[in-house]
A and B are shown apart, each in its own frame.
Chain A
Amino acid sequence: MTTPSKMQQLDVQRIRADFPVLDVEVRPGVPLVYLDSTATSQKPVSVIEAMNNYYRTQNANIHRGVHALAEKSTADYEAVRGKVAKFIGAAKGKQIIFTRNTTESINLVAFTWGRANLNKGDVVVLTEMEHHGNLVPWQMLATEKGIQLEFIPVGEDGLLDMDAYAVLMEKKPKLVSFTQMSNVLGTITPAAEIIRMAHDAGAVTLMDAAQGVPHLPTDVTELDVDFIAFSSHKMLGPTGLGILYGKEAILNEMPPFLGGGDMIKRVELSGFTYKEPPHKFEAGTPAIAEVIGLGAAIDYLEAIGMEAIFAHDHELTGYALERLEEVPGVWVFGPTIEHKSANAAFTFEGVHPHDVAEILNRAGVAVRAGHHCAQPVHQKFGITSTTRASFYLYNTKEEVDQLIEALYQVKEIFG
């Protein structure tokens, strides 16, 4: 784990100036305090401009076109693959597949690799803190193929029970699919250890990196992970674009995903042959402008540095945990700050999270209330929903203070 250092402190005021939406007033005189980046991050002007510029100056469909704009769009689109690969420490651009979102990336693995490799009785290991996106696809496959799902338990401390995991490995699972960072508890899981133990037991590994890649320096080669899935929109890029990384040998063996244009080599009425990865997984016209926007988002993150971003988020989260503890009736879920970052999900005694969020909204403080697409982890803690404040590179301690101040308003209204 990286420790925050003074050397790495972000110039947050300068960063904020790059995000136009942060200047918005939610009502006249009430500036936005955006604490909902775990749901989706805001976008810097460079990303907005890159997409705008694409549509203004070079819009054309990619691949096959021989005219100037088509060639330029194709080159720019394909160049982003290389940029994503470098950003996550992958060897080659062709290991990067573009999808719609993290959920689709995971479904792609379930539908192609899963259907081809998992059979009745095979064990798939997940964790109790998964987002529905890394749970429901496997439940669907369990219904379809009769695979058996096992879960690494989450303790009261918000951490995975690694002893129980070691016991689960004796079942010789075919796949271990786990979150790099919980979107509710904020828990940073011991990814390297999970992957190593899974490989020792002969399992393939998939890491849901939807929260991890935006907030933690991530190196897939060092982790030796087989697949990771994440989304553009949580890392300063546009919505509608997800990423799947896979090891080359596994991608080569996998059947294609959706059928249609762009994924084929040759089509006859009697059948078709398909392309090599990544193209065999990308049927139809992809989100070209969004991919170009993601390229700009990665440039932005790299210019600041993921180590520095982690240090900032981590320090701010620690500050938020300290301040939340001061508020009577507030109970924060998840591990202590050594094992978490970027978000704080809490309950407020006697007040439903929807009401908390509504009252915070009056002060311009944007948080999320509900089950955050992770109902089982809430059930584990005996609750149905939480209020979640989340933090990213553009947030400040003053904004955390505004959150706390608004929480005292909740106390006032509900007595």
Chain B
Amino acid sequence: MDDLYREVIIDHYQNPRFRGELDPHDYSYHDDNPVCGDHIRIDLRVDENDVVTEALFSGDGCSISQASADLLMEKVTGLPLDEVRQVGKQDILDLLGIELGPVRLKCALLSLKVLKGGVYGLEEVESLDELAAS
């Protein structure tokens, strides 16, 4: 049962490494989880080869949404945007290392949705429901 609150999740929630805002930035996007009103913003900087040099998140949410955002920022830092675009639901679950029910899954995927909004542009973003079902 207490898998959900693995030390790594509590640690990333209470001591995030990638929390903050980047100004100026190359990509920035924000969105809400309508279920709980949680809010996440992600800012990225990329170099001339479109490799992510810095990634920070800000906002407000539960331990699952905040820890997954922090872990996701850690993962994409140093990745080319092409590879960032390939990051999916399973990557988030692997980073968290836990099974999630349908409601908390959306908490975990909010940062992925925001990241995709930033690097894809609004038109192509999947909804949280689509991401959760992917």
A405 beta carbon closer than 8 Å to chain B = no
A61 beta carbon closer than 8 Å to chain B = no
A1 beta carbon closer than 8 Å to chain B = no
Question: Which of B4, B38, B61, B62 has its CB near the most chain A CB atoms (within 10 A)?
Answer: B62
User: A413 and B10: CB pair below 8 A?
Assistant: yes
Residues of chain B contacted by A415 (CB below 8 angstroms): 10, 14
User: A378 and B5: CB pair below 8 A?
Assistant: no
Q: Give Cα A261–Cα B4 distance, bound, in whole angstroms.
A: 52
Name the CB-closest residue of B to A27: B1
Q: Which of B1, B2, B5, B61 contacts A352 (CB 8 A)?
A: B61
Q: What is the number of residues of chain B that contact chain A, defined by CB distance less than 8 Å?
A: 20
Q: Which of B37, B61, B65 contacts A378 (CB 8 A)?
A: B37
User: B36 and A385: CB pair below 8 A?
Assistant: yes
Chain A nearest CB from B73 CB (Å) reads 19
A146 beta carbon closer than 8 Å to chain B = no
Q: Give Cα A135–Cα B25 distance, bound, in whole angstroms.
A: 37
Name the CB-closest residue of A to B103: A354
Interface 9-mer from A13-21, A151-159, A368-376: A368-376
Residues of chain A contacted by B72 (CB below 8 angstroms): none
Q: What is the number of residues of chain A that contact chain B, defined by CB distance less than 8 Å?
A: 19
Q: Which of A355, A369, A371 contacts B63 (CB 8 A)?
A: A355
Contacts A384-B60, A413-B5; is A354 near B36 (CB within 8 Å)?
yes
A120 beta carbon closer than 8 Å to chain B = no
User: A384 and B14: CB pair below 8 A?
Assistant: no
User: B37 and A385: CB pair below 8 A?
Assistant: yes
Contacts A354-B107, A358-B4, A362-B1; is A371 near B62 (CB within 8 Å)?
no
Contacts A362-B1, A413-B5; is A355 near B62 (CB within 8 Å)?
yes
Q: Give Cα A384–Cα B60 distance, bound, in whole angstroms.
A: 8
A350 beta carbon closer than 8 Å to chain B = yes
Chain A nearest CB from B4 CB (Å) reads 7
Q: Give Cα A230–Cα B66 distance, bound, in whole angstroms.
A: 38
User: A370 and B35: CB pair below 8 A?
Assistant: yes
Residues of chain B contacted by A385 (CB below 8 angstroms): 36-38
B105 beta carbon closer than 8 Å to chain A = no
Contacting A at CB under 8 A, from B111-126, are none
Contacting B at CB under 8 A, from A375-390, are 375, 378, 384-385
Name the CB-closest residue of B to A369: B36
User: B35 and A413: CB pair below 8 A?
Assistant: no
User: B64 and A354: CB pair below 8 A?
Assistant: yes
User: B1 and A371: CB pair below 8 A?
Assistant: no
User: A352 and B63: CB pair below 8 A?
Assistant: yes
Q: Give Cα A415–Cα B10 distance, bound, in whole angstroms.
A: 9
B85 beta carbon closer than 8 Å to chain A = no
Residues of chain A contacted by B104 (CB below 8 angstroms): 354, 358
Contacts A358-B104, A371-B37, A384-B39; is A350 near B14 (CB within 8 Å)?
yes
Contacting A at CB under 8 A, from B3-39, are 4-5, 10, 14, 35-39
Q: Give Cα A352–Cα B37 distance, bound, in whole angstroms.
A: 12
Q: Give Cα A413–Cα B2 distance, bound, in whole angstroms.
A: 9
Q: Give Cα A370–Cα B103 distance, bound, in whole angstroms.
A: 12
Interface residues of A (CB under 8 A from B): 350-355, 358-359, 362, 369-371, 375, 378, 384-385, 413-415
Among all A-B residue pairs, the 3 with the closest Cβ atoms? A352-B62, A354-B62, A371-B37
With A354-B62, A371-B37 already in contact, 7 other A-B pairs whose C-beta atoms are closer than 8 Å = A352-B63, A353-B36, A359-B5, A371-B36, A384-B36, A384-B60, A385-B38
Q: Show 6 residue pairs from A and B whose CB-CB distance is below 8 angstroms, ordered by the A residue.
A: A351-B63, A352-B65, A353-B36, A354-B61, A354-B63, A415-B14
